Structure 1
């Protein structure tokens, strides 16, 4: 031990502060070795939530049907179908469901007693997968001691029956049964899922992205793989004017200003003033918001159209500025404002001239088309300040940076939102920056670092600007792993009638991701064993109604975007896929559209989900078989080295 390198000895001395004796180090080795034999925790994978708060919250509460399946297993022969529904709904929504149930109960004390027994039984099943220490940390503080006693009491043991029964009776007699049931319900929800993985796109389309982010910040264990709709909001929060313009334009296009205005308290008054002053006489027909129902008056829709036109023109100018200062983005083909012939109302793209559907551009200077007018500059400056000063938005975006990344490798699964850029022949694309070459993994690592730089590098404005421009590129760039198309044809869809110009070609990845060999190459690139690993992907909704399957490359690649957002459900035919990876294998859940929280509570109409077993193990997966197991084994080796140091005299016990 005396010959051990000084670096190792220094580390062991630091470790000895935590385990200051042979006894404590030995006890921890025993504890960690036992943990390795526990079943792996259940992982829950979701993607492309797109602001649909109610449906997402329900899926989160029911663990994609995990709780319902467990109730069926535990109470298969002791509860009727209606009783099982009641219990499930009570666990999902204890605060709202409990008073509804009690209205129709003749003997509340007896109902409390029966329900408490049922929920404690469920808690015992879930807690058996965890150490007592981990369960203890999850317990609600008001009832931690009592719940711990009940979880580890065996009421069937003759000399403990009275003790157990007395606890339940006292909870009821002291009028704490309702609060206790709520505490148990939330504990069951928490113990059902060990970790939640969000594979991109919390934002846009639906009205509740900010509410979803609040809920995720309170979740016990979560990670993100950023989506293109997330990164544009992250860029906006950093202060990227091009990202801000895109965020506002998309919100106006779908008449969804809830997150911007009410969620993040960002005032649209500067944009309203500009829209009235500059486009007050413009009908803005092509900018009418999409998917508008009866909640908006004609005047409100007209105002949103004018605001959308104002911010769209600003967006095209700001994007042009980025393209000009970043030639490495290779996006010169997206410089379109200088291709407009203002005299005859046409635009020439790739040698072909098209008539334009709208030719009223009072703020565009033909001699300098990408320069903001003084009025536009003033508006953008005020909007930028609002985004940067929104406390709630900044809190959410910091959380996305802290818990998120471009991709994640976890337990032989590779998670990413969009694609791995490929050449037309299916070869993984490599990139060169300066003298350095980047494979797909290195490229994504670089983009991850630059995005963080765009948000955090406030002491170096040059680096910050490059980072913010990179976040915009990730939203719309032709080689962006988050976007996955050759262009975002926003300008063409607005201004050119010829639909051939609207075409956005998907990256070749989407043609080749069904190929087992290509999936294996991708897994190898990211250090995952192709024989054991899976790719978990979102971004492009699976068109189930057209016969498309979410399972690709013979099960090596799984797409779990089935259309959470209502806007996609006509195309997909379902309302989202989610994935469960428990200690027995992989289960894919396909969800039907969610009616409403009220109907789920009052009428017990759960999301109808079809669960498909993708992989089932004969032997249960243990923590020893996971990444956590690798970390624990490493800790055990360190502790064994510490024991050796104690016993050799290299380090003294405290």
Structure 2
């Protein structure tokens, strides 16, 4: 134990006095010091990394519930030699979805006293295994308070103690006889999942494309230990909730593009009836050719909807979006986005557009709401629609709750246990050096740039003169670390047939960071110099079937966007990558397409996944080797000072 001078104690007396309210005497203080020192020598808990969910809530929830296969490994390790394969799969599925699986087993008439007793015993064994890296206090905290004493008795029983065997058998019998079995099973399964995972990292792009972003956000918002690194699809929803009209238009356009009105209507209570009426009237004479690029990308499971009406709404909102974006570009010349003022480049009489001194033909002349003398001017009807939508986005309680989660648990980047996490990129020059980007009136680069951008974003919604345009800038600017492409070619994809104009080139980061030296420089910029440090990000779908790999820069960069979104699966050939990082090392998991939860529960079929150890640690990582140790060691330091203060009589014992 450290020795403290009387001066040191008096210098910290105010703090120690407050600390003494929690640890009121020598015994309590000593006990806490012993406990914390012991905690430092526990194995590091499991971290789980997931990125680019893109509204695929069922696949996300399943991967989260099975912790990318680690639950299956724990169950197999614990009871694999005691049960057959069918029984093993039932137990595993039960742990993932206890309420639904119990209901199905009841319908199939498979529940009886023998099944309940065997299952409860197996689950207790599994819980004991997954809790082996936790203190008893942590275990108690993660067990239902109504059953904590009983479960703790069962967890720490000695199977060799024959004298108490009848005692434990009686506990199981009483659980069953009092009809508490199913409630016990549900609560134990929840504890297994919770204790198996120490911390969850969501590395951006929760929103858009899939229909369940609001459901995914419910899970994330209620998670016990999570952080989020913003993606550009998240930040555009953040801007929409704070009333930025261009962000609102982008959000609605993307929902219409993917036939996804469920997130708007059912998730957040945002009605689009006024848009529907306006689009029907405005584009009543539009031909299918005029609307061909606006028909939604619907999958086979989509409900029966009026695709033509949705195409009209889609086009109407797209034109509104371009008008609003032009207004931002003109208001903020410092954004350097004049090249994306697409409407001003058009000759609507000729039906052409000039891009980089080349004239292209537009694929339609159907622009009934464009004022050729002021292309960014909204019509009176468009003004009313965007005003109504803005009110809906701002006043949606559920959306505001979810955006608050993104703000309180999210950031531009995170350093955590010697790894650097961000969604998109760090702006780089062509030679791999850090690129200077303007924020406000000054230029910044590297870590300072990321910090300043986050500060600028947060201050834009808290200052008296709110200007939420920065959300839109981070959504689509080439200088945005959340985007990192030469352009967002939305206009070109809709209105120009020449596919050369559709190309969005990834900027220097995505080529230079493949070089180990550049990746090490980036890590060093954020204070990470350990040989095990990694950059972990998403944003760019890895085309596995084309031979691409998520492991870059000799293993210093892990790009784990493998295509959760169904829209990407034809390109990637898989349904996402995830990472787990435990006391033994880091594990890369490749996931194959997931059918749906009900199918998985009924047929006891997990997501098919392939595991690859990226590296094994030279020695097992303990809590004292992690970021958590900083707080624990700081608490020990002041506890030891408090103990000395008690012993010297400087702080009175209560």
Provide TM-score, normalisation by structure 1: 0.96
2:278 and 2:520 mapped to 1: Cα distance?
Answer: 53
1:480 and 1:78 mapped to 2: Cα distance?
Answer: 54
Does 2:175 align with 1:199?
no
Does 2:361 align with 1:364?
no
Displacement of 1:77 = 2.0
| Pair 542,293 (structure 1): closer, same or farther in 2 beyond 3 Å | closer
In structure 1, the partner of 2:224 is: 220
| Pair 253,138 (structure 1): closer, same or farther in 2 beyond 3 Å | same
In structure 2, the partner of 1:500 is: 500
Superposed, 1:134-153 pairs within 5 Å as: 134-153=138-157
Does 2:555 align with 1:555?
yes
2:358 and 2:232 mapped to 1: Cα distance?
Answer: 31
1:75 and 1:299 mapped to 2: Cα distance?
Answer: 49
In structure 2, the partner of 1:377 is: 383
1:388 and 1:251 mapped to 2: Cα distance?
Answer: 18
| Pair 192,106 (structure 1): closer, same or farther in 2 beyond 3 Å | closer
Residue deviations 1:605-644, cap 9 Å, x none? 1111001111112422110110001211111112222223
| Pair 389,150 (structure 1): closer, same or farther in 2 beyond 3 Å | same
Residue deviations 1:88-114, cap 9 Å, x none? 111111112123334556771111111
Displacement of 1:276 = 2.0
CA contact (8 A) 2:542 2:572 kept: yes
- Indicate the larger mover: 569-578 or 90-99: 90-99
Residue deviations 1:270-299, cap 9 Å, x none? 211221232221234234334324677998
CA contact (8 A) 1:447 1:470 kept: no
1:112 and 1:35 mapped to 2: Cα distance?
Answer: 35
1:435 and 1:319 mapped to 2: Cα distance?
Answer: 22
CA contact (8 A) 2:436 2:444 kept: yes
Gaps of 5+ in 2: none
Q: 1:397 aligns with which of 389, 396, 403?
A: 403
CA contact (8 A) 1:524 1:530 kept: no
Displacement of 1:565 = 0.9
Does 2:253 align with 1:253?
no
- Indicate the larger mover: 2-11 or 344-353: 2-11
1:598 and 1:144 mapped to 2: Cα distance?
Answer: 31
- Indicate the larger mover: 290-299 or 637-646: 290-299
Displacement of 1:534 = 0.7
CA contact (8 A) 2:560 2:577 kept: yes
Secondary structure at 1:142 match in 2? coil
Secondary structure at 1:141 match in 2? coil
CA contact (8 A) 1:39 1:623 kept: yes
- Indicate the larger mover: 430-439 or 318-327: 430-439
Secondary structure at 2:83 match in 1? coil
Residue deviations 1:109-162, cap 9 Å, x none? 111111111000000111121111111111123322221221122233122211
Displacement of 1:437 = 4.2
1:433 and 1:77 mapped to 2: Cα distance?
Answer: 60
CA contact (8 A) 1:238 1:454 kept: no
- Indicate the larger mover: 440-449 or 480-489: 440-449
Provide TM-score, normalisation by structure 2: 0.96
In structure 1, the partner of 2:326 is: 320
Secondary structure at 1:128 match in 2? helix
CA contact (8 A) 1:519 1:557 kept: yes
CA contact (8 A) 1:288 1:301 kept: no
- Indicate the larger mover: 387-396 or 274-283: 274-283
CA contact (8 A) 1:276 1:306 kept: yes
Does 2:634 align with 1:622?
no
In structure 2, the partner of 1:653 is: 653
In structure 2, the partner of 1:308 is: 314
Displacement of 1:188 = 0.9
Superposed, 1:71-82 pairs within 5 Å as: 71-82=75-86
1:424 and 1:107 mapped to 2: Cα distance?
Answer: 65
CA contact (8 A) 2:542 2:561 kept: yes
Gaps of 5+ in 1: none
2:111 and 2:380 mapped to 1: Cα distance?
Answer: 72
CA contact (8 A) 1:235 1:455 kept: no
Secondary structure at 1:364 match in 2? coil
| Pair 78,189 (structure 1): closer, same or farther in 2 beyond 3 Å | same
Q: 2:449 aligns with which of 443, 446, 450?
A: 443
Secondary structure at 2:354 match in 1? strand
2:283 and 2:358 mapped to 1: Cα distance?
Answer: 29
In structure 2, the partner of 1:596 is: 596
1:609 and 1:299 mapped to 2: Cα distance?
Answer: 35
Secondary structure at 2:653 match in 1? coil
| Pair 39,253 (structure 1): closer, same or farther in 2 beyond 3 Å | same
2:302 and 2:8 mapped to 1: Cα distance?
Answer: 74
| Pair 156,5 (structure 1): closer, same or farther in 2 beyond 3 Å | closer
Q: 1:239 aligns with which of 243, 263, 278?
A: 243
1:20 and 1:36 mapped to 2: Cα distance?
Answer: 23
1:433 and 1:199 mapped to 2: Cα distance?
Answer: 23
1:589 and 1:532 mapped to 2: Cα distance?
Answer: 19
In structure 2, the partner of 1:43 is: 47
CA contact (8 A) 1:235 1:243 kept: yes
2:542 and 2:300 mapped to 1: Cα distance?
Answer: 30
Residue deviations 1:562-613, cap 9 Å, x none? 1111111111111101111111111111011001212211111111100111
2:11 and 2:521 mapped to 1: Cα distance?
Answer: 38
Secondary structure at 2:21 match in 1? helix
| Pair 507,5 (structure 1): closer, same or farther in 2 beyond 3 Å | farther
Superposed, 1:115-514 pairs within 5 Å as: 115-283=119-287, 284-293=290-299, 300-433=306-439, 436-457=442-463, 460=464, 462=465, 464-465=466-467, 468-514=468-514
1:617 and 1:9 mapped to 2: Cα distance?
Answer: 42
In structure 1, the partner of 2:60 is: 56
Secondary structure at 2:414 match in 1? strand
Residue deviations 1:48-83, cap 9 Å, x none? 111111111111111111111111111232222122
CA contact (8 A) 1:432 1:438 kept: yes
CA contact (8 A) 1:42 1:581 kept: yes
Aligned residues: 648
Secondary structure at 2:12 match in 1? helix
Residue deviations 1:216-244, cap 9 Å, x none? 22222111111111111111011110000
In structure 2, the partner of 1:32 is: 36
2:363 and 2:93 mapped to 1: Cα distance?
Answer: 52
Q: 2:70 aligns with which of 56, 66, 69?
A: 66
